[in-house]
Structure 1
Amino acid sequence: MERTHNRGAYLISWGKIELPAARPCSGCISPSSSFTVSTNNDTVCISTTDSIPTITLNGNGNVVFICNTLNLGSIDGFGTDNKIVINPGGKLIINTDFSPYQNLNIIADYGQLNLAAGASNFYAPIVVSNGSIPKKLAVCKTPSAFYTNPFNTNWGPLVTVTDNCVNLCTSQLPLDLLSFTVKENKNSVQLLWVTSNEVQTDRFNIERSGNGRDYITVGTLKSKNIPTTTTHYSFEDNLPLEGNNYYRLKCIDIDANYSFSTVQTINVKQSNKMITTVSDSQVRVRFSGSVLSGQLRLVDMQGRILKQVPIQKDQLQVTFNGSGLSPGHYVVQFINEHQVAYSSLVTFTQY
């Protein structure tokens, strides 16, 4: 595997990984204590839900499949080119130490990888890949306990993410996102998701993009924080973009750690639009479809709110006076309980 690195950067490229297919979770072992893989080019399937102190990888070219939630104290060993594959629905939580001496690929094949708060001593490059269609990988604050390999200082930073930009986690994210869907509802888009195991979840930011790269937050819902049952959420985007809309959820816990959902895409042929015009000193705003109640704000380029006008549910048009404003550019915002929609810039000249 060809290695390249950018000293000082957190994400680096270590070459492409050949992803092994997820193994069916049948005929697996369920160890209740530490175990060692000493063979070469073998496969091991682990289905235990117990905590295991250590997995030692002394063999070469082995693949270890994780089928359930496995709390693991540490990974160790002298083997080379080993892989750990987290199967769909599986989760690997590494709690204390992580120090294999040679390359180890961790592949979250629609599963989850978390590094708990006590994890430290990362003495080997870790390559993390999430396959072709990710379910969820934990995204948290950048870990502070990563070290360069004491035997080869040219290795640089020790964590790599391929295919999707996903960092590793310094604390466990307790939320499980069971489903996330979007569907068109007249001129709006409805987002539906179901969660379980909400222990320390604070809120969900709803993010939207028109190109799949640049996202803005269009709304926020507080977590219901019900850890014992599944929880259903719904959000209505009343001002989607015309054409492709890319949506994702940013699930944020009370410690400001967060994870992203998969991205859901929907094409809106005729979206609700906010159209703003200025004539003399009058600002006229109209909507092409129904909206929730909220407020229109006129904001200057420093972000100061200069005017506020209430909007009633399904009100399609409003006019307000902009006299007394200095010539220049301003922004009209429509704000309701959940989201902010920006119009194009409006320009006032001297009247």
Structure 2
Amino acid sequence: MIKIHTCLVAIATLFSVSHTSFAQTEPDLGAASAFSLFTAVGGVTNQGTTVVTGDVGTGAGAFNGFPPGIIVGETHIADDIAGQAATDVTSAYADLLANPCGSVVLSTSMGNGQELTPGVYCLGAATTITGNLILNGLEDPNAVFIFKIDGALSTADLSSVLLINGTSLNHVYWQINGQFDIGANAIFRGTAITNGAINLLESASLFGRGLSIAGAINLQSNIVVNTPGALPVTLTKFLVKKDEGRSALIAWATTEEANSDRFEIERSMDGRAWQLVASLNAKGESKVLAEYVYTDKMPEAGINLYRLKMIDQDNSFAYSTIRSIEFEAGLRAALYPNPVVNQLTLDTDNNGGIDRLQLINMNGKIVYEQVRSDSSKLLTSFDVSFLSPGLYVGRITGKGGTRYQKILKVN
């Protein structure tokens, strides 16, 4: 009887040891945990209207493109915090590398609807993600996903890494022994720690972190958020684009709403001070696609940031990610005096930004015109005594748009 009991204990111990040896060990990010983007050695360069929520920095390298890019966080360039983050990123990379591989063998061509459960996945060469790659947490908020890639990782344009059934962004890790490229308009989720450059192509989004032990970081009008909160609704789309005239079209869609009350659209010029633009009622209870649209007819000149505040009926709320759009300064120009007898004057604070000035009669005929050449500006005072008395339309065209003004010519 004693021998049987001893044997059972040994078997139980064996299973316990076996399970422990394959458990995923999450890395300690240390000082790097506050960063959305960081490289221990390499430059950080941005082009366009990138918005990063979280800290950005480099242990050693150039830092360019902010502004026009916006950082809702702190910047650390070769300071003490960057030095500690460089050490911690290197340690975290080694921690991920030390995880034993799971039993599931994956192809280096991932995605296209592929669904994975928690575990450690090892890929022995450069890897690509196309379409949707789905990470199913099996309703366990502590489920861990670790991908160890012995080579570069690239995602196709418009591809997505999706998290379902309780998968937490904070427990998804990618250890990449090479360059990391996120395709144009693609969405990537998780903390990527690379031994190479990190490149986000045009309008790509990174929800998580992009950390490199050695390599440049290059951005092109991207969205990067390291800790997005849980949303009270299932938001499937949120975009901002230019509408007719000088307006911003804000559109979003949900596939599920429960106890939702309203959406508030907020706008900011610096990512810190936000103002309410509009409030729209939510569906309240819905399990079908619901689409919302609003037009902001008075955006500011420069980069406008927009976000949604999604509010439940109990007044709890969460924010969406931030979208950005840029408007050039409006054209400020006027003609005077009005009515005019002989001499008309162009009043503007940016003559070099005006390309053409025209006077048009009521039959639609251009009766006077100035066109700016590369080396000259428009005349600010000009004779109109030759014009017959009557009503004319002044049309002033420049980089800030077109202005129209009615002019009355008298004797």
Q: TM-score, normalised by structure 1?
A: 0.45
Q: TM-score when scaled to structure 2?
A: 0.40
Q: Point out the structure with the larger helix share.
A: 2
